Amino acid sequence: MSRLEKMEAPILVSLERAMVRFLEETPYRTSEYAIGFLDALGESLSGKFREENYPSIDDFYRSVETGRSGLSGIEGESISLFRGIYVLKTCPFVNALTKREPLDSKLRDFFERIVQDYNEERNPTTPIVNPFCILHDKLKGAYLENVVAEGRRVKFFIIARRSPLREGRVVMNREIVKGLKTNIRRALLETMRNYYCCCTYLLRRVTR
């Protein structure tokens, strides 16, 4: 059994159970409770990642593109748009959001309130579009804390997200998007139209 197989199963099982619990319990709670629950769940799972060392950042990128990195165990298959820029074709939590489709208006309104409150309180560089973005970002950050490329840790920026809750809603990190080459920006926009997804920029930190 590979290292990826060893770490993939318990994380995905934990997430699925958490999504079911979240859907069942949060309609009777507040958005503050939901945000705290997702934060705490991400913290509880952060210890599951082993350190990964790569001779270069390009070696890390290749491991992401071939599905050999631990990131694939969290997110699944991604598309490479450019060096270090990846689009996750399907939000790993879209099933939890849509399995009760159509979501009743109370639950949908509650999810939207979580999104609105989180964005107002935390003011993330790229706003979240569904409650599970909170958990997803936490897990990605925890995993990357354990990735070393050329002796430096790896960090990430979310470039864009498309919401599975509200048709056609896409949010972007405009500072990063405007700095992309025209062909990459065009490919990003086209991809965001076709998938419920998010786009991530992975890069080495300036300091070790």
Of 15-19, 41-45, 53-57, least confident by mean pLDDT is 15-19
**What's the pLDDT at 96?**
66
Residue given tokens 């619990």 in the structure block: 21
- What's the CA gap between 195 and 160, in Å, rounded? 12
Percentages of the chain per state (helix, strand, coil), in multiples of 5: 55, 15, 30
Q: 């804390």: which residue's tokens?
A: 145
Q: Let me know: does 178 contact 125? Beta carbons within 8 Å.
A: no
Take residue 77 and report the two structure tokens written for it. Answer: 């298959």
Please name the amino acid found at residue 122. R
Tens of pLDDT, residue by residue over 137-191, are 988 898 998 999 989 999 899 999 988 777 778 899 988 888 888 998 888 888 8
- Spatial distance between the Cα atoms of 130 and 111, rounded to a whole number of angstroms: 7
Burial track 162-192 (b if 16+ CB lie within 10 A, e otherwise) = bbbbeeeeebbbeebbeebeeebbebbeebb
Backbone φ and ψ of 78, nearest 5°:
-130, 160
